[in-house]
Amino acid sequence: MNKEQIKKIIDSPMNYDESKEDTMCSWLSDCYSKQMRWIMICVGAGYLILSALVIFSAIAFFRADQTQYQIMYAVIFVFCSHWIGFMSVFGWVMMQRPRISRLEFRIAELIETIKEK
């Protein structure tokens, strides 16, 4: 396949299907679909629990009188802050899963289109 054929396939407006377009609305609707609901509920609950622990440990750190307790609350704060970051990455990866499978299907369709021409 040469560059002219590839350009013709890319530029042909008659084959453009707007329903296959990746928009933010389609991305969020895929993310909060029925199969992903429990994952997003768990990620949201984890955010709430860890955020509460971060706030509690920050307040307790400044109220503590002994160095031993200050170290303990600082460790809890850092640990929970890192886990919030890990959960963010996990949530982001889980949100990308439907898009990746859709991309694989698009590539397969494009390969079939190329084979036909």
Read off the pLDDT of residues 74-83 as tens digits, 9 standing for 90 and up. 999 999 999 9
Tokens of 18: 């707007």
Q: Could you tell me if residue 5 is inside a domain?
A: no
Q: Is residue 7 part of a domain?
A: no
Residue 8 within a domain? no
Residue 80 exposed, middle or buried by CB count within 10 Å (0-12, 13-18, 19+)? buried
- Cα separation, 77 vs 56, whole angstroms: 9
Which is more confident, 46 or 99? 46
Can you give the residue range of the structural domain that contains 96?
32-116
CA dist., res. 62 & res. 3, Å (int):
66
Give residue-wise pLDDT tens across range 42-76. 889 999 999 999 999 999 999 999 999 999 999 99
Q: Is residue 101 part of a domain?
A: yes
Cα 112 to Cα 104: distance, rounded to the nearest angstrom: 13
Half-sphere exposure of 10 (CA within 13 A, CB side): 6
Domain count, the chain: 1
Q: Is residue 10 part of a domain?
A: no
